[in-house]
Structure 1
Amino acid sequence: MLLELGELGRYQIIMYTLVCIPILFASANSVTYVFTAGIPNYRCVVPECDSLSDPVYNTHWLEWAIPSNGKSATEYQPEYCERYVRNITTSIYPECFPNRFTNEMERCHEWVFDNERSIVNDWNITCLDNQWMLSLVGTSHFSGVIVGTGVFGAVADRYGRKLMFILSIVIMSVSGIAQVFSNGYIMFVILIFINAFGTAGIFPLAFIIGKSRLAR
């Protein structure tokens, strides 16, 4: 077979390399939603203690103002969405100290985030009652993969694998860049679906095209 078709040469190497480049980007692109929808550390804003112009996530007075979330038995980690109620009888003192807070808890509506950044920071997707919004990002991604795999597999047989391969790359590239400029959660989820839709067409088509080029 090798004598008939010819051994691996410059043409095969160039074609295979060109086909593999989009796969590298598609592979990285397939896991980006894990980071963009990652949950950074965050806590309630405490106006009595925080610097409102430049609040810092870790400070020495957190245990006085915010209860522990109970996830670690040895290390204190502040609760995400609850804080201790202010003790109004000590409000005349400007300093932040333990007696400034009671043992009662209240829900907060402003947060201080750690150094990490994701859509949680951008659109305040915080607390357990909003976790479905983060799960929906993953659902949208894998829905796009399922739909894209079926659509490109069927359409490529009719219109050609090379054309559909290029179209997949264009869809993945344009939608991936557009995600950066998303102005809201709904727009971001839609672009996640479109991006995964385009990415799904790259893998099977690249495999077939690469295999056919090596056989020439």
Structure 2
Amino acid sequence: LNVVECEVVDVQRCGCRCHVPECEGNSSMGVASAEQWAGADWAQWALPAEARCERWQPSQHACAPHVFDNTSAIACDSYVYQHGSSIVSEFDLGCQEWKRSLVGTVHNIGMLISLPIMGFVSDRWGRRSALVVSGCGAGLLGLAKSFATSYYTYLLGELLETVLGASVYPCAFVLMIEWLGVEHRILASLVLGVPLSLGAASLALVDYLAGYWRTWARLAYPPSLLLLLYPWLLPESVRWLVSRGRMHDAAHVIKRAAEYNGARVPAEALEKMLLEREQIGGSAETNIDEGLFTALLKYGVLRRRLCVCCVWWMSAVFVFYGLAVSAHGLRGAGGVHATYALVAAAELPALALNTLLLDRAGRRPLLTAALLLTAAALIAIPCLPEECLQTRLCTCTAYDFKFTACDGPVPAGCEISCRQRAELSAGRAWRSVPDDAERLTSRCRHRGTLRASSDI
């Protein structure tokens, strides 16, 4: 939700030109009407053909061809916008491209802050708690951001919202895996991935219908507050409860699940589990609180696996988010909203391929094939029609694989911390990487799969 708003809804480019008071007075300052924008016949002698941030120097206050010196350009004092749907026209950013790009930079900084913090919160206080705090906090801050009265207030809201909301999906993914069991990781990926893809496409439709970024935010963010009901609707992860030594709570969750499913759990088995825990005593608490950093120093295998996960994330994120962000710059027959919706829907075939092939073809062969096909499609982009979506499909396959694979090679209790560190390494520079670097990364990144352990 935050990525869609940051890159597609709020800061999308809109047509703008210099305001020429000699020819239009002050009536068209700000957002121009359709007639004012289309009827500017004087633009051919008052404005340069290519430079939208400059206008020709006038010699007097009159609107005639001989008044404007087409050999001397001056910077615009104010701007006229074709549309008023984004913050570009709302806060009069005009040709201040750095301010528009700064929104994405602040978003990335928020992710760098969020990932380690929410990973620690999830592993320390529970998956459900982290999910509720992250989702509801992001919803509240996103809603508050829609009332921003200045550009810098908006930036502050963007930063705080990202700090809380960047970890919603990882928390939900790990919680579902720990509910279903490790053997159902692929199913968990499908169950979460389909609504995610459809939701992204729906958000583009909501923006199209709303037509204004504040209205879009006030429609899109309030449903996040439904996560406040999760403590009463969803149990905590049994695996996390056991890893934290809360055996009585884990037994209670197991009993409730058994009653709901009409199954019977032998009381002797639960009593034996609790008794074994009591016999272990406090020595296990030390191991529980060991932390990922200490484990990384102690175990070389864990270090290698974390490095492999970092390479996976870094290589996939460059293209996955790069294509998502660049989609709004395309101008297809259906406009920017239809283009983004189609790009989001391209994730659905990738989810289906993962579900069908991961157990049959194996993890490493499928990941290698997805990365190589992505590289080939990126290199071939100049020769492909604009509607071709093979690149997005392949990189979605690889990106979706990361969530499925990164849970296997790390100890219980620190899955999210490990994944957050891998995401952290990937998220630092993806937004600023040019297309050529994306293609170069795509060609060589598959080598990281050769370092993956076969049990993933």
Range class of TM-score, shorter chain = 0.7 to 0.9
CA distance in 2, matches of 1:146, 1:139: 11
Q: Which amino acid in the other structure matches residue 38 of structure 1?
A: Q
Higher helix share: 2
Alpha-carbon distance in 1 for matches of 2:68, 2:167: 57
Distance 1:179 1:39 in 2: 20
Partner of 1:73: none
User: What displacement does 1:107 show?
Assistant: 1.8
Runs of 5+ in structure 2 lacking a partner? Answer: 182-256, 258-456
Distance 2:141 2:180 in 1: 31
Higher relative CO (CA 8 A, sep ≥ 6), structure 1 or 2?
A: 1
Distance 2:65 2:128 in 1: 68
Distance 1:31 1:177 in 2: 15
User: Residue 195 of structure 1 aligns to which amino acid in structure 2?
Assistant: E
Q: 1:97 aligns with which of 42, 64, 78?
A: 64
Counterpart code for 1:98: P
Q: Provide the residue aligned with 2:42 in structure 1.
A: 61
Counterpart code for 1:107: A
Kindly provide the CA deviation profile for residues 130-162 of structure 1, in whole angstroms up to 9, marking residues without a partner as x. Answer: 322222211111121222121111111111111
Distance 1:132 1:47 in 2: 26
Structure 1 residue matching 2:55: 3-state secondary structure:
strand
Counterpart of 1:172, as a letter, is: A
How far off is 1:186 after superposition? 1.6
SS across alignment from 1:57:
helix
Letter in structure 2 aligned against 1:60: D
**1:111-142: per-residue Cα shift (whole Å, max 9, x none)?**
11012532221222232xx3222222111111
Please tell me the residue identity of whatever aligns with 1:97: A
RMSD (Å), alpha carbons: 1.9
Aligned to 2:177: 211
In structure 2, the partner of 1:11 is none
Q: Which amino acid aligns with 2:100?
A: L
TM-score, normalised by the number of residues in structure 1: 0.72
Residue number among 64, 75, 80 corresponding to 1:112 in the alignment: 80
| Separation (CA, whole Å) in 2 of partners of 1:107 and 1:57 | 20
Distance 1:106 1:208 in 2: 56
TM-score by length of 2: 0.36
Instruction: Report SS of the residue matched to 2:80.
Output: strand
Of the structure 1 ranges 36-45 and 79-88, higher mean CA displacement relative to structure 2 is found in: 79-88
What does 1:1-216 correspond to in 2, within 5 Å? Answer: 28-34=1-7, 35-54=9-28, 55=32, 56-58=36-38, 59-69=40-50, 79-88=51-60, 96-103=63-70, 104-127=72-95, 130-215=96-181
The answer as to whether partners of 2:6 and 2:104 remain within 8 angstroms in 1 is yes
Q: Aligned partners of 1:121, 1:48: CA distance in 2, in Å?
A: 22
Measure how far apart 1:51 and its partner are.
Answer: 4.9
The code of the aligned residue for 2:101 comes to S
2:84 and 2:90 in contact (8 A); partners too: no
The one-letter code matched in structure 2 to 1:142 is N
C-alpha contact 1:179 1:191 (8 A) present in aligned 2: yes
Percent identity, aligned pairs only, is: 29
Does 137-146 or 43-52 show the bigger shift? 43-52
Q: What residue is the counterpart of 1:72 in the other structure? A: none
Paired with 1:124 and 1:189, the residues of 2 have a C-alpha distance of 15
Distance 1:126 1:150 in 2: 36
CA contact (8 A) 1:83 1:106 kept: yes
Give CA-to-partner distance per residue, 1:10-61, whole Å, 9 cap, x none.
xxxxxxxxxxxxxxxxxx3322111312221111111121152245233222
Structure 1 distance, partners of 2:108, 2:141, is 15
- Secondary structure of the residue that 1:48 maps to in structure 2? helix
